[in-house]
Homo-oligomer: A and B are copies of this chain.
Amino acid sequence: MKRAFSVVLTTGLLLSGIGLASAQAVSPEDQIKFRKAGYSFMSWNMGKIKAMTVDNPASYNRDQVLAAARAIAGVANSGMGALFSPASARDVGSERTRVLPEFFQQPDEVRRLATNFNREVNELARVAETGDVNAIRAQFGRAGESCKACHDKFRAK
């Protein structure tokens, strides 16, 4: 049953372009560690973009914002779906997770939110190339909404 569900989820994530790395076995504990690392690193880079386009636009630096946006897109495009096996749905060893059970029960909704997120952060990297701080700020807002949509639905408070 669990396995059948995993296949459904896997298929959903593959369809969404998140992809899976089939050649590498990652323990459930490491899946939690690596996915939290990815989200944490993206949050640092979102914070930089916010600082330079929302909080203090006078500090805007095109190269730094572009590097931050590309880091986020690179992480988002890397196939993080592989880091959400059913065995990683709860704390494992020393790794704690805030993912909610609903994440593993609603693959269609996960796929929809993940697809939105990937689209918005890739668009953010594209807009960051232009150096148009107003356009970057607007797209940063849309990217942030796409993060929040998943947090609201599938992450414990």
Contacts and interface: CB of A to CB of B under 8 A. Distances in A.
Copies per complex of this chain: 2
A33 to B, nearest CB: 6
A142 B9 CA distance: 36
B68 A21 contact: yes
Contacts of A144: none
A86 interface: no
A75 interface: yes
Q: Which of A22, A44, A63, A73 has the most CB of B within 10 A?
A: A44
Contacts of A38: 37, 41, 44
A24 interface: yes
Interface stretch (A49-57, A96-104, A108-116, A129-137): A49-57
Given A67-B78, A71-B75, A75-B74, A52 B19 contact: no
12 contacts: A19-B63, A19-B64, A21-B61, A23-B52, A24-B52, A26-B44, A37-B38, A37-B40, A41-B41, A70-B78, A73-B74, A75-B75
Interface of A: 19, 21-24, 26, 30, 33-34, 36-38, 40-41, 44-45, 47-48, 50-52, 55-56, 59-61, 63-64, 67-68, 70-75, 77-79, 83
